[in-house]
A and B are shown apart, each in its own frame.
Chain A
C-alpha cells in the first residue's frame, strides 16, 4: 500500500521540511545510536537527579552550616573537607548543582523564548520597521562587550539578585533570534503557509500551527547551548563578584579557593571545577549529539 515517494529534497543546505515528522523519531534513533551522546545524557540525567534532590530538601542541606574547623581535610564527617569558614565542601558542591540548574534552566528557557518571539516577529514581518528595529536592537546588544554589559546591569540594579540572569537573557537570545528569523522567512514563502493565508487564517494561528512546529529543532538545540553558556558564564561572573549574590555556586567556590590554593588547600578548587567540568562535558556531548541528530542532512531525504 505504501507508494514510492516521488519528489525528492535531498540535503538542501539547511533544514529541509521533507521528512520532518519522521524527524522526531529519527532524532531519537540517531541519539540512541550515538554512544557519546548517550553518555552525555546519562551525566546530565544524574546531575538533574541531584538537583531535584536538593530542591526536595534531601541533599546538600548543610551547605551553609559552619560546623567544622577551618580547612579540615577529607574525612567521614566532611567527605571533601571544609573551607575557610569550616563549611562542608561536599555539601556546598552538591547544593551548587541546584544553583547551576536554576540558572541554566531559567536562562535557557527565557532566552530561547525571547529569541523565538523576536526572531519570529522579525522573520514574519521581514524588511518592515518591526524587523528593522529588532535587527537594530540585536546589533546593539551584540556589539557591547558582554561583561561590561553585565557589570552595567548589575550596577544599575544595585545588587538585585537577578541582575545576572537578566543580563544573560538579554544577550543570549540574539543567536536564537537570528536563526529563527531565517527559518521563518524560509517558511513564510512556502506554499503551505500561503495556503493558510489564502483561506484567511489569522496570523497567530499560522504562526502557532504552521511555523512554530517547524522551528522547534532550532529552539531545542539553541536551548541546550544557552544552558551550557549560562552555567559557564555564571562561574566567571560569580568569580568576578557579579554573579550569585546569596547562596552558593561553583563560581563562588572557585572564587573562595583562590586564596586557599595559595595556602596549599585544593579541595574547594577541585570539587567545584570537577563538578563543573563533568556537567559541561555531559551537556556538550548531548548538545553535539542533538545537533547531529537534527542535522538537516540526516532528515532531508
Chain B
C-alpha cells in the first residue's frame, strides 16, 4: 500500500463528569493509535456511545476544551502535528487538508441560503474557481453523489430536500474541498440501500482519484463490508480489533466483533430471522469495568479479563503488511475453512 497520511499515536480524550458530590473523569477515548494511508478507506465501527464521533472531533481539533481534555503523543498529518497546533493553525488545516462529514446534516446546512450558493462557495474557496465554473462544478458534484435533478436542488433551500438528499449534499461539499483526509461520521445512515451503495461507491472513487484517505465511521457492518479496505473495531474508547476487512469478517478474533457480526439483521426470502443482539448495553464511560471493558457482556470472560487490560496484539499467523490485531485474552479460534 502507499504511504501514511495520518498517523495517530496514543490519543486519549476524557471528560470531567460532575455528579452530586464528586467530580469524576470519564475516559471516552483511551490511548488509541492507528494509521491511515493515502487512498485507503478505513472503517471505524462500534456501537453508539463507544467514542467514534469523539475520536473524529479530536482529530479535527473540534473538541470543546473546557469539558474535554485531549492528550496525544502525536497526530501527524503529513509533517504537521495536529496535536501541537493552535486554533489558528488548525483552522488553516481544516477544510483544505482534513475535512469532515457530520452525523447530522440538517444542522450543518445553513437554512438561509440555497444549496447552490453554499456548495459553490465551498468550491470557490477550495478550488479557486470563479463563480461560473464553481456553479457548473457544483452541479457536477451533485450528480456524482447520485442527485438526478441537480439543477432543481441547486435552487432549493435545505428544508425543501428529503433527508437523504441533504446528507448527499453534505457529502458533495466535503468532497469539493478535496482534502487529504476525510472523516465521514455515519454518512449513509439516512440513505436507502441503493443510494447508500451509490454514495459509498462515489466516496471510494474519491479516495482513488484524488488519493484522499477516508476514515469511515459507522455502526453498520454492512457498510464496512461494502466500502472499506481495513477496519478498526472500537469499544468503550479502545480499539479492540484491527484487520483488513475480508480477514475481519472471515475470522473475527474478538468476541465483541463476533457479536456485532451476529447482530446484523438480514433480509431473507424464508422469513423473519430473530436478531441476536449482544446482551447488555455499552457501560457509561464514567463507570467502566476494570480490566477488559467488554467483560460484563462477554461469555468468554474469566478472572484474568476482569483484572487486567488486554493489549492489542497480532495474531501469530498474520505476518503480512497489514496485521490482524486484537485485544483479547481468549480470542476466538480461526474459523474452519
Q: Chain A interface (Cβ within 8 Å of chain B)?
A: 2-14, 16-17, 26, 29-30, 33, 126-127, 181-182, 185-186, 188-190, 297-301
Contact = CB atoms under 8 A, between A and B. Distances in A.
Interface centre among B48, B68, B104 (most CB of A within 10 A): B104
B106 A190 contact: yes
A134 to B, nearest CB: 13
A186 B111 contact: yes
A127 B110 CA distance: 15
Interface string B252-284: 000000000000000000000000000001111
Interface stretch (B33-41, B52-60, B134-142, B304-312): B52-60
Interface string B61-78: 011101110000000000
4 smallest A-B Cβ distances: which pairs? Answer: A4-B49, A6-B48, A8-B53, A185-B111
Interface residues of B, number: 33
B294 interface: no
Given A10-B57, A181-B112, A189-B158, A298 B64 contact: yes
A298 B64 CA distance: 5
Contacts of B64: 11, 297-301
B286 interface: yes
A2 B286 CA distance: 9
A7 to B, nearest CB: 7
Given A26-B67, A188-B159, A9 B281 contact: no
A297 B111 contact: no
A13 B108 contact: yes
Contacts of B282: 4
A184 B62 CA distance: 25
B177 to A, nearest CB: 14
A271 to B, nearest CB: 40
Contacts, number: 87
A2 B284 contact: yes
Contacts of A3: 49, 281, 284
A221 B157 CA distance: 27
A185 B107 contact: no
B49 A12 contact: no
Given A3-B284, A297-B62, A189 B56 contact: no
B14 interface: no
A12 B66 contact: no
A301 B68 CA distance: 10
B62 A182 contact: no
A29 B66 contact: yes
Given A4-B284, A10-B102, 10 more contacts: A6-B49, A7-B48, A8-B103, A9-B107, A10-B62, A13-B110, A126-B111, A185-B111, A299-B64, A300-B64
B256 to A, nearest CB: 15
B328 to A, nearest CB: 22
Contacts of A6: 48-49
A182 B111 contact: yes
Contacts of A299: 64
B207 interface: no
